[in-house]
Structure 1
Amino acid sequence: KDFKSEEEKREYMLYLDGSNSWILKPLNFIYNLNDKAFFLNSDHTFEDAGTTIEIIRRAFENSKNIRKSDVNSKAILIKEFVDEKNAKKIKEEKEKYLKLSAKFSCNDLHLELKNEDCQKFSKDSIMQLIMIYAQYKTYGKFNSVYEAVDMREYEFGRTECVRPLSVEAVDFVKLLDKFEDKQEIQDALEIANNEHKNRIKSAKKAQGVDRHLFGLKQMIQKADDKTKKDALEFFNSMGYEKLSQNFISTTCTGTLDFIGYLLFTPVVWEGLGVTYLKTNDEVIYLISYHEKQKENAKNFAKYLNEGVEKFKKIYS
């Protein structure tokens, strides 16, 4: 398949077109003969970014020990029978899917930020703080942010959710916006960085709260009326609803060792989906958005750039 641009290639990788997958099954491995690109497209309910990267890493390591004579390279056609009624249903659902996916786009942003610019601070913390700055400048307010934290070291672990938007982060972002007193900004950065690291550490120790609250919210539906009524006062409160809204959903892929791009669709149509990572010399943000958010996505990218440039001046 030929692509007119990198953007078209990324969007194809993210949404596919229904022609090369069986009813959009959860896990698709696709190799493009024209440009030798390898895609992995999956349903997010099936696996997470960490699992995807681990699959590719293991495949890469195992490929060193596989002899060509051990590989059956001949493609085998799997014949499936679908009756007329279901074939019609599949066609209708495919058309709905293509119509919906056409409303979403994704952009990539590469910004120079050397490791020495990061000083002693957590790179994850820096990139999240810059995203909070960008959303504040774009929307004029602070919205809840979702960050996935890998929990696969636990036997039944998957992910915990950390909320990077803290009081400490807000204080830092407001000072970064004004950029008046460098010492004050540095002090606020130290506090915000420590708070972010503590939240990540708590999640890694299975001491996060987000997933537990979500689980309780699901369980409460089976409780007695009195318990349900009391609990729903909390779960239906404005505070909990705003906290648990994944307005900006984020994930970090860590490195470029085994994957190039990782993309996902925004959780809410009015929000953004952001994959981010840090190399030795730059930060990379991959931003997906609904067509109605095109201008906001453009401004978000602009303020990410502005945030990085301001960050580099804090200690200069």
Structure 2
Amino acid sequence: MPVRYSSARAKGALFNHQDDLPSLPVPELAETLTKYKKSIQPYYKNGASDPEYLRYCSVIDDFAKTQGPYLQQKLQQFAKDKRNWLSYWWDNYAYLGYRDPVSPFSSYFFHHRELNSLIGKNQILKAACLSKKALEFMEAVESETLEPETIKGQPICMESIKWMFNNSRIPEPKQDTNLRYDPKENRFMVVISRNRFYKLEHHRNNKQVSVEELISKLDAIKTHSDSLPEVKSPIGILTSSNRDIWAENYQELMKNPINRQSLRDIQSASFVLCLDDDLPVTIEEKSRNAWHGNGSNRWFDKPVQFFVSKNGSSGFLGEHSKMDGTPTLRMNDWIVSELAKMSAPKHISTTAEVDELRFEVSPKIQAATDKAIKIFNETVNSLDIKVWQYHGLGKSQIKLLKASPDAFIQMLIQLAYYKYTGQVRPTYESASTRKYFGGRTEAWRSVTNESLEFVSTWEDAFASKEEKIAAFRNAISSHVHGISAASNGHGVDRHLFGLSQLCDGEKHAIFTDPIFSYSSYWYLSTSQLSSEQFNGYGWSPVVPEGLGLAYMVNKEWLHVNVTVFKNNQMGLEADKIAYYLGVAANELKEVLTSETIKSKL
């Protein structure tokens, strides 16, 4: 049976600090409104003196005196008996109520670095060893012996890791749900090969099966799927649909008891492993396969889904509704580092039974899969991707340049965008709030008065090198201060969101003025998850005219995955964004290095 979310005190080390974590605070109204006023200044032609800005400030001031205190009091009262007032709304608003396809629009991916070994180049060996390590990580979660995460020695919330395994998003009209199944009763994974689904038991007598047995079983599955004709109506493609359409087709599938059992097995499986027939070579090919694959050899509703291609290329795709990327980053980073240490198993049995999950396809489902394939192909072909990687400048050198690595790449992105478009536009950076119980993210608005001054000064042909450096330093300082406040639960967007949720009747003009929606219309959506074990990490843009900029700041190199809609109204191209990232990186490195050298003389 599925189990629901529980906040009961856990017994193992993994959850030792949960009861001690602070509750998510409700910021002071005056503090948020002051920050909000400052955050929108860069979008007015004349900044703080612009007549339109001053007009809207009067609207904000009116809110501060009228409806604001009433809503603030309601929010404080609402938060009193909750350890995380935001989570009551956020999962549904940001994820489960989201109706566009989860892939490619809300799921995120990691692509694993290549391993120059037999395991790294052989699909079945890689899949078996990867699965074995995933099972070891899963057992550490189940036994609660996995060490809890900390940031600078401070414990952070581990609650979301409960949703990592034996879990699935369930499509429903208007708003999906999420079910977590008892891992002790569901000791199997699901393998997808050539659009067919197989159930693979990974425990026997409460013990994990050996890696040799996993090799044997996976080899049998691959042989079996290769021997059968192509699946004419791949059920996996239905999970790529608009969520309301998928919910309708899901109910059609559930009418059949055979289908119902197969769906239940997929949903309750520990995780999904996909054996792909493709042979990605370039980093863009590998990232595309990680991002969405062919749409059919996947089950996009699972939070943990691995894939291995014929040439050993591997990675991970995560459904986002109950968990952000940091827990799965940790898992994948550990798995790949462990794979690099493994030797190929020597004794491999060649006989194993397969357990294929059956689906009976009605005419309605057949038509639905045909339509889903067409829409999926049109959707992914409407998106462009370019992977920008810059070697010789990473965390180590950025620190020598006396800059925060994260703030550095944020200013690099701002400079590249300004060089390309001559403008700044609303930019989202994900700030983790996991220091609080149930914390997920807050938005940090990366465009500030200081970042605007930096990019405009840097591009000013008459500005001196000293002036450029000073503007850069000021922008970096502002960014570090701002994202730190956001991570401490003192951002702008989540607080205003909470207040808006409690409005009775007509909303105040603060929420309906065009600048309110514009300033959180994320033309640039950015987030950092860094690992030396990955050569790919990314997701899609969040608005039609926007950019998805997933980045890694590793020890000696930088990575930005650029995604954009082709033929967008602003004419943005992924290749050109990557080009300007390179130009900006070269300039920043040259100027800041010269400053460092000069300071040593």
What TM-score, normalized by structure 2, do the two folds share? 0.46
Shift of 1:62: 8.8
Equivalent residue, structure 2, for 1:79: 358
Alignment of 1:1-316 (within 5 A): 1-3=278-280, 5-22=282-299, 24-27=300-303, 29-57=305-333, 59=335, 76-81=355-360, 83-111=362-390, 112-114=392-394, 115-118=396-399, 119-178=401-460, 180-217=463-500, 219-220=501-502, 223-225=503-505, 228-230=506-508, 233-257=509-533, 259-293=534-568, 296-315=573-592, 316=594
Contact residue 398 and residue 404 of structure 2 kept, 8 A? no
Shift of 1:36: 1.7
Q: Secondary structure at the match of 1:17?
A: coil
Shift of 1:16: 1.8
Shift of 1:167: 0.3
The letter of the residue matching 1:267 is V
Q: Secondary structure at the match of 1:261?
A: strand
The letter of the residue matching 1:107 is K
Contact residue 286 and residue 313 of structure 2 kept, 8 A? no
C-alpha distance in structure 1 between counterparts of 2:389 and 2:332, whole Å = 24
What TM-score, normalized by structure 1, do the two folds share? 0.85
- Identical-residue share of aligned pairs (%): 23
Give a deviation string over 1:60-91, Cα, whole Å, max 9, x none. Answer: 689899xx99xxx9764333455443443344
- Indicate the RMSD between aligned Cα atoms, in angstroms: 2.7
Contact residue 27 and residue 40 of structure 1 kept, 8 A? no
C-alpha distance in structure 2 between counterparts of 1:160 and 1:51, whole Å = 17
Give a deviation string over 1:261-282, Cα, whole Å, max 9, x none. Answer: 1110110121110111222332
Give a deviation string over 1:205-231, Cα, whole Å, max 9, x none. Answer: 1111212223333x14xx333xx332x
Contact residue 21 and residue 28 of structure 1 kept, 8 A? no
Residues 1:195 and 1:29: Cα distance change in structure 2 (over 3 Å)? same
Contact residue 404 and residue 476 of structure 2 kept, 8 A? yes
Shift of 1:54: 2.6
Q: Secondary structure at the match of 1:134?
A: helix
C-alpha distance in structure 2 between counterparts of 1:160 and 1:249, whole Å = 13
Residues 1:107 and 1:59: Cα distance change in structure 2 (over 3 Å)? same
Residues 1:92 and 1:248: Cα distance change in structure 2 (over 3 Å)? same
Shift of 1:202: 0.8
Q: Secondary structure at the match of 2:507?
A: helix
C-alpha distance in structure 2 between counterparts of 1:99 and 1:76, whole Å = 34
The number of residue pairs the alignment matches comes to 302
Question: Can you give the 5+ residue segments of structure 1 that lack an aligned partner in the other structure?
Answer: none
The letter of the residue matching 2:507 is K
Residues 1:13 and 1:33: Cα distance change in structure 2 (over 3 Å)? closer
Question: Can you give the 5+ residue segments of structure 2 that lack an aligned partner in the other structure?
Answer: 1-277, 595-601
Residues 1:9 and 1:255: Cα distance change in structure 2 (over 3 Å)? closer
The letter of the residue matching 2:585 is V
Residues 1:26 and 1:246: Cα distance change in structure 2 (over 3 Å)? farther
Shift of 1:166: 0.5
The letter of the residue matching 2:380 is S
The letter of the residue matching 1:297 is A
C-alpha distance in structure 2 between counterparts of 1:229 and 1:278, whole Å = 41
Contact residue 250 and residue 273 of structure 1 kept, 8 A? yes
Q: Secondary structure at the match of 2:357?
A: coil
Contact residue 416 and residue 584 of structure 2 kept, 8 A? yes
Give a deviation string over 1:135-188, Cα, whole Å, max 9, x none. Answer: 112122110111112223322111111111100011111111126312222222
